[in-house]
Amino acid sequence: MVSSSLYILLVVLAIVFLNSQGKLTKDIPVFDFIILILATYRLIRLFTYDRVMDFVRDYLAKFESGPGRTLWHLIDCPWCTGVWMALIVFFLYFAHPLFWYFLLIMAIAGAATFTQITIWKIGRED
């Protein structure tokens, strides 16, 4: 409940901030939207599955309650992580043009990860 309320608050704050800066628009080009999807996908996998983030998941798993445990539950669930990463990607996309390069790199990595996983799964079916 607390994490849902916090999420809604952060969504509202992000929209209000971006709108007050004149950075919010309703038009997102299709190519940019695909980049945002792939960047979000890559960040979800990074925080939920990749070994490089094991130390974060292991640290948060030690908490039995409180905010630490809530964060562990959030990154242990790819759907939960996805909702939060989508908010972060959304904010970065509109906040400053330089974030575009970070999102592009994440999107390229996301496309490569998706391709690798797909090929691996096809190879295992034989």
Mean pLDDT of 21-47: 95
Residue 44 has pLDDT above 90, yes or no: yes
Over pLDDT 70: what percentage of the chain?
98
Residue-level pLDDT at 1? 61
**Between 72 and 107, where is the model more confident?**
107
How would you write 75-103 as a 3-class SS string? HHCHHHHHHHHHHHHHHHHHHCCCHHHHH
Residue-level pLDDT at 2? 66
Token pair listed for 87 = 């908010």
Read off the pLDDT of residues 105-121 as tens digits, 9 standing for 90 and up. 999 999 999 999 999 98
pTM, 2 dp = 0.87
Residue 48 has pLDDT above 80, yes or no: yes
Residue-level pLDDT at 4? 86
Q: What is the mean pLDDT of the chain?
A: 93
Kindly calculate the radius of gyration of the chain based on its CA atoms and give it in whole angstroms: 16
